[in-house]
């Protein structure tokens, strides 16, 4: 009875070793596959940390059940951002009733894998709960609702979230304030209020304004430049500017990204690239992947060139899980790992930028 059991244990551990080896060959740089751990290639986050930066990836809760995906995320990256789990619809689905299930799941995953967590996001015009968007609020009511939301969420994650996207996407393309629920009811002062309430709830978390299409110098990034300058002059606690960096090959590279990052740093705030991905019209081909790789390398280099650019987060790391195909039909292939968790040229370009600098 005992011998066959032992043989089957040996057989299954041999099979497991083969499977692990095959998996390693699929997801690790070729030179690492059979190397002992101390000789493995440094991860992107380890390379970034040599420059005092972090390299992170967003994750959405359902992706944590994809074991291979979750394992690689935990191994390669230093930070993570919940893709949806800390948004208002998730955290306060009914007025005054808070649900931290999704956010907590990501925080405990992150703890188990030694990742730090960027909080996203306390205030946004999108993914608000129905009770909030369908209600009619006086300014006093809405101010109290916003204050309570920010206070409860930030307090809950105090010590667990190192930076918050306090206000997300509050500017329009032409540099005017976005006419969201809060602006319409409270006027532009809601931004300073939100930052102050967040600071009161967690004095240690870094507080960011965050938006897309602000990577280049233009009307929208100018508006943030002016706003942050004024907030700083008024003593409002703003610590960072997040450039989402959802780029697309067909729209061209934001050529003045380095100067733009520098001018925000010169205002005395940190800058982070918070949601980086670089999409393309499908199907992908060698030329597009090479151009994408070049762009990933340039974005990484632009961050490394400015001391106050503190880190880069990709919005998911693999084409297996990405928001793009459902939002932009016919586009995708935006991330440095492919659907099978294999490195794309973009991964090598990031690596090269992190090692060359
Ligand atoms: O929760 C429902 C689920 O009940 C339903 O069965 C399913 C069917 O489609 O939809 C689920 O909701 C989806 C939600 O993600 C949660 O998975 C929405 O349809 C989907 O639109 C939503 O997309 C998110 C998007 O924000 C919403 O604008 C993406 O996952 C998320 O990655 C994306 O992230 C944003 C950042 O927060 C801000 N910057 C832009 C970035 C990309 O859009």
Name every residue whose Cβ is closer than 8 Å to that of residue 126 and which is 6 or more positions away in sequence. Answer: 169
Q: Is 60 in the pocket of ligand 1 (CB under 6 A)?
A: yes
CA 323–ligand 1 middle distance (angstroms): 7
| DSSP letter string, 118-179 | EEEEEE-SSS--HHHHSS---HHHHHHHHHHHHHHHHHHTTTT-SEEEEEES-B-TTSSBP-
Whose tokens are 């996207």? That residue is 165
Q: Which of 304, 311, 308, 293 is nearest to 350 (CA)?
A: 293
Q: What was the pLDDT predicted at 222?
A: 99
Q: Is 84 in the pocket of ligand 1 (CB under 6 A)?
A: yes
Q: Which of 158, 153, 159, 155 is nearest to 124 (CA)?
A: 153
Q: Which strand (E) or helix (H) includes residue 270?
A: strand 270-281
Domain range list for the chain: 42-356
What is the CATH T-level fold of the domain 42-356, as seen in this structure? Answer: TIM Barrel (3.20.20)
The one catalytic residue among 76, 275, 331, 339: 275
Atom of ligand 1 nearest to the CA of 58: 32
Q: What was the pLDDT predicted at 40?
A: 84
**Proportion of the chain in helix, strand, coil states, percent, rounded to 5:** 50, 20, 35
Is 275 an active-site residue?
A: yes
Measured distance CA(30)–CA(334) in Å, rounded: 23
Q: What was the pLDDT predicted at 92?
A: 99
Nearest CA, atom 17, ligand 1: 84
Q: Is 244 in the pocket of ligand 1 (CB under 6 A)?
A: yes
Mean pLDDT, 10 residues at a time, the chain of 357 residues: 32 38 38 50 97 98 98 98 98 98 98 98 98 98 98 99 99 98 98 99 99 98 99 98 99 98 98 99 98 99 98 98 98 98 98 93
């Amino acid at each position: 009875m005992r011998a066959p059991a032992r043989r089957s244990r040996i057989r299954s551990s041999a099979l497991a070793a083969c499977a692990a080896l095959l998996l390693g060959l699929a997801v690790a740089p070729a030179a690492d596959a059979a190397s002992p751990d101390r000789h493995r290639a440094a991860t992107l986050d380890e390379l970034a940390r040599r420059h005092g930066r972090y390299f992170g990836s967003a994750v959405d809760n359902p992706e944590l059940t994809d074991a291979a995906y979750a394992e690689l995320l935990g191994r390669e990256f230093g930070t993570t951002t919940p893709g949806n789990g800390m948004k208002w619809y998730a955290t306060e689905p009914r007025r005054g009733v808070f649900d931290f299930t999704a956010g907590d799941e990501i925080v405990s995953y992150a703890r188990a894998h030694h990742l730090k967590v960027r909080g996203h996001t306390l205030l946004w015009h999108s993914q608000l709960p129905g009770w909030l968007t369908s209600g009619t609020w006086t300014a006093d009511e809405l101010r109290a609702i916003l204050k309570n939301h920010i206070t409860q969420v930030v307090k809950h994650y105090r010590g667990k979230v190192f930076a918050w996207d306090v206000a997300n996407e509050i500017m329009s393309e032409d540099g005017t304030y976005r006419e969201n629920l809060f602006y319409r009811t409270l006027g532009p002062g809601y931004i300073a209020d939100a930052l102050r309430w967040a600071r009161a709830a967690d004095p240690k978390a870094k507080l960011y304004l965050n938006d897309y299409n602000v990577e280049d110098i233009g009307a929208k990034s100018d508006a943030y430049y002016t706003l942050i300058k004024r907030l700083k002059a008024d003593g409002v606690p703003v610590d960072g500017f997040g450039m989402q960096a959802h780029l697309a090959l067909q729209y061209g590279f934001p050529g003045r990204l380095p100067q733009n990052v520098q001018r925000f740093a010169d205002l005395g705030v940190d800058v982070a690239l918070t949601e980086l991905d670089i999409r393309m019209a499908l199907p992908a081909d060698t030329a597009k992947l090479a151009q994408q790789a070049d762009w990933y390398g340039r974005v990484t280099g632009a961050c490394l060139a400015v001391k106050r650019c503190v880190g880069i987060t990709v919005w998911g790391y693999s084409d297996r899980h990405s928001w793009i195909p459902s939002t932009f039909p016919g586009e995708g292939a935006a991330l440095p790992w492919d659907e099978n968790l294999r490195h794309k040229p973009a991964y090598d370009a990031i690596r090269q930028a992190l090692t060359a600098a």
